[in-house]
Amino acid sequence: MATLSWLLGLALLPYLGFVVYHVFGPQRIHRQRLRRVRSRGDIPSEGPLAQAVHPDAAELARLGAAVTGLPPGSANDVRLLVDGAAKYGALLADIAAATRHVHLEYYIYEPDRTGAALRDALVERARAGVRVRLLLDALGSARARRFFKPLLEAGGELAWFHPMRLGHVWRRPWANLRTHRKIVVIDGRVAYTGGMNVTDAQDERLGDAAYRDLHLRLEGEVVRALQLVFCEDWAYATGSRDFLSSVARDMPAPAAPGPVRAQVLVSGPDSPWEAIHRLHVSAIQAAKTRVWMTTPYFVPGEAAMMALTSAALAGLDVRLLVPRECDSRLVTLAARSYFGPLLVAGVKIHEYGPRMLHSKSLLVDDALVLIASANFDHRSFRLNFEVSVLFDDPGIAASLAGLIEGELASAPRVQRGRPRPLLRARLPEALARLMSPLL
């Protein structure tokens, strides 16, 4: 019987491999038709820019525009929102003041206290005649699928990004290719983006173990780019473009260029350029004095490892801040498998705890800042739809530097000579690293 089981298992391996590839293998989607949204000019692009502060900012801006189709712009007001209390409080206040539309796109939306508070705020605005459009990832927000009946009854709209399609045998299910973006646009005037989803797990008022995270509140012409990204995703998910003319009518008159240089970056499997990955690597290569990075998931590719180690070997101040234990043990082990070469090159690695670090940021020198939804891993750079904002501004850089310095106080530095037993460290890390392309 055992022999027969082995023979059957070996015979079925090719078919099992096909099923695994069919569900999890590489996929590309074609959204070229959505590019027409940009070219039609329904939502005008940004105006002229102020002079660059960082010596390589203009080159990075041109690169960003070339690989995303979104031109560089500016912001009149930028607020770094640290942790959920700051983000959710500001967001609910802005939604309460909405008069035209509220557009939201999230990866995770949980049907908990935080989710209920936001849903009820949207219901109130929908009843007041404000157009509410909520786009959620069908996998990340699956638990909230029956949670939005009050919003729909109030006149709000709900769409799901990439339902799994398991019933369609000949069409590959969207096991990967999720929208990991976090975008809110209110009246085309105020926008939010960054690392925070909608969940009690990211509100420190509801528990001491809440994630440590970072989000952005933006005003100015950069909001138009985030509006455009949302509209592309909504059009793709719903198959409808009829809403574009009404959105364009609701947009305020273009704001005068603000004092902060800001550029929205997007990436996803509908583009071969890996824009956010490319901009991260290019920004690190442009560094003159320092590279400070925070990320919850650190699974770098060859180009990113080369950039980080080259910067450290050249004598720059390179610091990497990661969680001591992230919410995936496999990712934690995979990340630690990369520490060796980084430490030898001179990168200072710090592990933050006891809370889970979830902020995603990059600080280069004294002016360049990237704050994103994207983690520093293959999934974010190649499989997910992500959004990031690139700033060229000494004030924002100083604020982020102060925030990271404060977090380093709770993040012991990883030492080169630390004990690494074979069975408890080296072997599990090596095995986890084999899964890196899927992490």
Instruction: Mark whether 182 is an active-site residue.
Output: yes
Instruction: Mark whether 348 is an active-site residue.
Output: no
Instruction: Mark whether 187 is an active-site residue.
Output: yes
At the top level of CATH, the class of 275-438 is alpha beta
From 101, 103, 182, 378, active-site residue: 182
Residue 425's pLDDT band, with cuts at 50, 70 and 90, is confident
CA–CA separation, 285 and 117 (whole Å): 43
* pTM for the model: 0.90
Instruction: Mark whether 120 is an active-site residue.
Output: no
Q: Does 255 or 224 have the greater pLDDT score?
A: 224
Closest CA to 408 of 293, 321, 318: 321
Mean pLDDT within 310-332? 96
Residue 18's pLDDT band, with cuts at 50, 70 and 90, is very low
Task: Answer whether 350's CB lies under 8 Å from 320's CB.
Answer: yes
What pLDDT score was predicted for residue 10?
Answer: 53
List the beta strands (DSSP E) in 187-240.
190-194, 214-219
Residue 2's pLDDT band, with cuts at 50, 70 and 90, is very low
CA–CA separation, 431 and 347 (whole Å): 24
CA–CA separation, 3 and 276 (whole Å): 51
Residue 356's pLDDT band, with cuts at 50, 70 and 90, is very high
Residue spans of the domains in the chain: they are: 40-54+73-259, 275-438
Mean pLDDT of the chain: 89
Look at residue 33 and tell me whether its pLDDT is greater than 60: no
Specify burial of residue 5 (Cβ count, 10 A radius: 0-12, 13-18, 19+): exposed
From 54, 103, 162, 358, active-site residue: 358
List the beta strands (DSSP E) in 91-189.
101-106, 131-137, 157-161, 183-186
From 180, 277, 280, 350, active-site residue: 180
Instruction: Using alpha carbons only, give the angle 101, 103, 107 rounded to the nearest 5 degrees.
Output: 165
Hey, what amino acid is at 165?
R
From 56, 360, 377, 392, active-site residue: 360
Instruction: Give the percent of the chain with pLDDT over 90.
Output: 78
Q: Quote the DSSP letter at residue 140.
A: T
Q: Are strands 290-294 and 260-267 parallel, antiparallel or unpaired?
A: unpaired
From 365, 377, 392, 393, active-site residue: 365
Q: In CATH terms, are 40-54+73-259 and 275-438 the same topology?
A: yes
Instruction: Mark whether 180 is an active-site residue.
Output: yes
Residue 420's pLDDT band, with cuts at 50, 70 and 90, is confident
Question: How is domain 40-54+73-259 classified at the CATH fold level?
Answer: Endonuclease; Chain A (3.30.870)
Instruction: Mark whether 358 is an active-site residue.
Output: yes
